């Protein structure tokens, strides 16, 4: 039996003959809106992260227009509104500092306005989790439209991928095997169309999370931004969201535990970004789903990486779309998924992928011939990470997955930058690089600096990977044997703060172990002498962030933002 839809929120603004109703309608009419738009039809917010400062979302005005077509077609009243945008390439010190701020912007913008449902336009890395988190805390009918990846990059006859090839080329320049002129030449070859990073970096991973969570229409993850079908999908989303209002299909009904479990497994199959761990933990916290780091390990442990995309493999998102897209990937692992999970189009996940086919077995590998046997995120624990740390096995060097080495310690990112290329730095290929004070509170903001560049003098000797450990994140486009999100972080006195040069560290990914080979007694003595790093962030948003941010193992949300307040209509003030 279908649910009775609740009274529409928008009626509280637009229905009636009071002075307030006059105010609400009259000013809206100054854009040329006719009377029939105020006849009680569903009002659909289009939450837009367009900004010229966020190049990955630079085409979103056009996407919004296509969403509007669909909303109008089905008898809705679309109203587009901006929220703060987060452009990964320009913002300092790091966009992650502002993810929660944007989620607050989204949540309060939705609740304060006459909206019955929302379409979220997302693309660049943090825009996806920020908008999902904010909308989840309002719990209206919600559908996500991702902006889509850029077309494949090509340079000198070979594919190059956003981020991944930048890291590779810059190491080649430092190692002396690529000229600076060639490096500069690659810029325009890499980013040659609208859209977000086209590697399986964080943006593409999060677009895949959207689709596997059931929050986007089938095809959302991979259709290139420049492909006409991206705009057709936006149009369809506009049509569908009006139906979601009629059915009162809210975001909390889609974001169930089963949906999160599906997304975690899909993350393994696509070789997705470690950033998805943090974002999904935070999102689950908004809808009251008890997702934990251990779930990531449990569900991802046996999941092979099937998708042959950079940074784990060699292809790019355009290739994934032509190979069948995410539905074909999910079809390959269908036996593991919760196929009865509900999705925004009203169908189950199983129904959405029932007819999916793979058209290129090099891009989407069969389950019995995976790209890497272990695609999921491995969660490490031990005396160096009592609350956990993560590593992405598919992007790591197999020979380094079990390793003992001498710690070469950097106290913070400035110390790292000052010394990493010092010819006198005492470092050997089998050492373990340790970077402190780059966690949520330490930097602050939890930046993507965990994939530390290797020392020049080792690059010149041909070394291309080393074990690296930090409390930072890394770009989803990066690769290497990089242990991240170590919790608690150094800045709050986590054991990482106590590591000293020359200590022995043991990494054993198969045993999920990260161990500092120092006695408890010695660690206690070091702890007694430890003092927290100083900072001068005494006011404004930085202060709010430092006072309320949680650690990596719970998603780095603010303590006061976990959960939902729904979307009751606030009181009038005119
Ligand atoms: Fe925007 Fe990579 S920089 S998605």
Q: How far apart are the first and last CA of the chain?
A: 41
CA of 450 to the centre of ligand 1 (A): 17
Instruction: From 60, 86, 90, 197, give the residue whose CB has the most ligand 1 atoms within 8 Å, as the site to mutate.
Output: 197
Distance of CA 482 to the CA centre of its chain: 18
Domain spans, the chain: 41-151+193-353, 154-190, 378-534
Q: Which burial class, exposed, middle or buried, applies to 570 when counting CB atoms under 10 A from its CB (0-12, 13-18, 19+)?
A: exposed
Those residues with Cβ within 8 angstroms of residue 431's Cβ, 6 or more apart along the chain or in another chain: 405, 406, 407, 408, 466
User: Is the shortest distance between the CB of 125 and ligand 1 below 6 Å?
Assistant: yes
User: Is the shortest distance between the CB of 56 and ligand 1 below 6 Å?
Assistant: yes
In the sheet with 378-382, reading across from the earlier edge strand, the strands are 385-391, 378-382, 513-516, 504-508, 402-410, 432-435, 467-470, 482-483
Where the chain has pLDDT below 50, the residues are: 1
Instruction: From 57, 124, 448, 473, give the residue whose CB has the most ligand 1 atoms within 8 Å, as the site to mutate.
Output: 124
Instruction: From 51, 54, 56, 473, give the residue whose CB has the most ligand 1 atoms within 8 Å, as the site to mutate.
Output: 56
Per-residue burial over 441-479, b = 16 or more CB atoms within 10 Å of its CB, e = otherwise: bbbbbbbbbbbbbbbbebbeeebebbbbbbbbbbbbbbb
User: Is the shortest distance between the CB of 206 and ligand 1 below 6 Å?
Assistant: no
* Ligand 1 atom at minimum distance from 55 CA: 1
Integer Cα distance of 458 and 545 in angstroms = 38
User: Is the shortest distance between the CB of 51 and ligand 1 below 6 Å?
Assistant: no
Alpha-helical (H) ranges within 271-324 are 275-287, 293-300, 317-322
Q: Which residue's CA is the nearest one to ligand 1's atom 1?
A: 124
Q: Which residue's CA is the nearest one to ligand 1's atom 3?
A: 88
- pLDDT confidence of residue 374: 85
* Ligand 1 atom at minimum distance from 162 CA: 2
Q: What is the DSSP letter of 197?
A: -
- pLDDT confidence of residue 7: 84
User: Is the shortest distance between the CB of 126 and ligand 1 below 6 Å?
Assistant: no
Closest listed residue to residue 473, CA positions, set 462, 463, 483, 465: 483
Integer Cα distance of 164 and 310 in angstroms = 7
CA of 125 to the centre of ligand 1 (A): 6
CA of 507 to the centre of ligand 1 (A): 31
Ramachandran category for residue 115: left, alpha or beta (phi over 0 → left; psi -120 to 50 → alpha): beta
CA of 90 to the centre of ligand 1 (A): 10
DSSP per position, 293-307: HHHHHHHHTTPPB-B
Instruction: From 162, 198, 310, give the residue whose CB has the most ligand 1 atoms within 8 Å, as the site to mutate.
Output: 162
Integer Cα distance of 125 and 96 in angstroms = 9
Q: Are 240 and 186 in contact (CB under 8 A)?
A: no
CA of 446 to the centre of ligand 1 (A): 17
Bridge-partner residues for 389, per DSSP?
A: 380
Topology given in CATH for the domain delimited by 378-534: Glucose Oxidase; domain 1 (3.50.30)
In the sheet with 43-48, reading across from the earlier edge strand, the strands are 77-82, 43-48, 117-122, 142-146
Closest listed residue to residue 498, CA positions, set 556, 448, 443, 434: 434
- pLDDT confidence of residue 5: 60
CA of 497 to the centre of ligand 1 (A): 31
Length of the chain: 574
Integer Cα distance of 331 and 349 in angstroms = 10
* Ligand 1 atom at minimum distance from 477 CA: 2
Sign of CA dihedral 111, 114, 119, 123: negative
Decide: helix, strand or coil at residue 546.
Answer: helix
User: Is the shortest distance between the CB of 88 and ligand 1 below 6 Å?
Assistant: yes
For residue 36, count other CB atoms closer than 10 A to its CB. 9
Instruction: From 85, 203, 311, give the residue whose CB has the most ligand 1 atoms within 8 Å, as the site to mutate.
Output: 203
pLDDT digits (tens, 9 = 90+) for 250-309: 999 999 999 999 999 999 999 999 999 999 999 999 999 999 999 999 998 889 999 999
User: Is the shortest distance between the CB of 201 and ligand 1 below 6 Å?
Assistant: yes
User: Is the shortest distance between the CB of 162 and ligand 1 below 6 Å?
Assistant: yes
Bridge-partner residues for 372, per DSSP?
A: 305
pTM tops 0.85, yes or no = yes
Q: Are 315 and 309 in contact (CB under 8 A)?
A: yes
Topology given in CATH for the domain delimited by 41-151+193-353: Rossmann fold (3.40.50)
């Amino acid at each position: 039996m279908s649910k009775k839809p609740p009274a529409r929120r928008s009626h509280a603004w637009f229905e009636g003959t009071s002075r307030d109703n006059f105010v609400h309608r009259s000013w809206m009419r100054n854009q040329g809106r006719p009377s029939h738009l105020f006849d009680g039809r569903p009002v659909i917010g289009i939450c837009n992260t367009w900004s010229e400062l966020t190049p990955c979302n630079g085409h979103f005005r056009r996407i919004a227009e296509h969403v509007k077509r669909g909303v109008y077609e089905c008898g809705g009243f679309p109203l587009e509104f901006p929220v703060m945008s987060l452009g990964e390439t320009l913002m300092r010190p790091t966009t992650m500092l502002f993810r929660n701020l944007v989620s607050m912007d989204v949540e309060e913008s939705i609740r304060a306005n006459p909206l019955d449902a929302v379409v979220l336009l997302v693309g660049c890395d943090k825009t996806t989790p920020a908008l999902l988190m904010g909308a989840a805390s309002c719990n209206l009918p919600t559908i996500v439209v991702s902006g889509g990846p850029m077309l494949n990059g090509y340079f000198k006859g070979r594919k190059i991928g956003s981020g991944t090839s930048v890291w590779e080329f810059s190491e080649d320049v430092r190692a002396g095997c690529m000229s600076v002129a060639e490096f500069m030449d690659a810029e325009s070859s890499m980013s040659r169309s609208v859209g977000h990073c086209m590697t399986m970096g964080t943006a593409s991973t999060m677009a895949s999370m959207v689709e596997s969570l059931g929050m986007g229409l089938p095809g959302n993850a991979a259709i290139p931004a420049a492909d006409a079908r991206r705009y057709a999908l936006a149009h369809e989303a506009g049509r569908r969201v009006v139906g979601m209002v009629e059915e009162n299909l809210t975001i909390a009904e889609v974001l169930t535990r089963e949906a999160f479990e599906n997304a975690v497994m899909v993350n393994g199959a696509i070789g997705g970004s470690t950033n998805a761990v943090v974002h999904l933990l935070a999102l689950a916290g908004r809808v009251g789903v008890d997702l934990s780091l251990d779930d990531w390990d449990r569900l991802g442990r046996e999941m092979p990486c099937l998708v042959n995309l950079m940074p784990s493999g060699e292809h790019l998102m355009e290739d994934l779309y032509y190979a069948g897209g995410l539905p074909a990937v999910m079809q390959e692992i269908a036996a593991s998924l919760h196929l009865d999970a509900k999705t925004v189009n009203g169908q189950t996940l199983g129904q959405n992928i029932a007819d999916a086919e793979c058209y290129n077995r090099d891009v989407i590998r069969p389950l019995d011939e995976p790209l890497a046997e272990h695609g999921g995120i491995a969660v490490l624990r031990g005396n160096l990470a009592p609350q956990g740390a993560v590593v992405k096995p598919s992007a790591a060097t197999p020979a380094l997955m079990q390793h003992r080495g001498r710690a070469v310690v950097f106290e913070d990112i400035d110390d790292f930058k000052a010394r990493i290329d010092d010819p006198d730095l005492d470092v050997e290929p089998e050492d373990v690089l340790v970077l402190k004070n780059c966690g949520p509170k330490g930097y602050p903001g939890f930046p993507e600096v965990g994939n530390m560049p290797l020392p020049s003098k080792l690059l010149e000797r041909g070394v291309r990977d080393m074990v690296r450990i930090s409390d930072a994140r890394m770009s989803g486009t990066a690769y290497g044997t990089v242990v991240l999100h170590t919790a608690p972080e150094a800045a709050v006195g986590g054991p990482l703060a106590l590591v000293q040069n020359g200590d022995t560290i043991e990494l054993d990914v198969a045993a999920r172990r990260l161990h500092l080979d120092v006695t408890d007694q010695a660690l206690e003595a070091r702890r007694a002498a430890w003092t927290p790093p100083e900072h001068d962030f005494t006011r404004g948003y930085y202060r709010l962030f430092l006072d309320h941010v949680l650690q990596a193992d719970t998603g780095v949300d603010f303590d006061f933002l976990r959960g939902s307040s729904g979307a009751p209509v606030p009181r009038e003030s005119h």
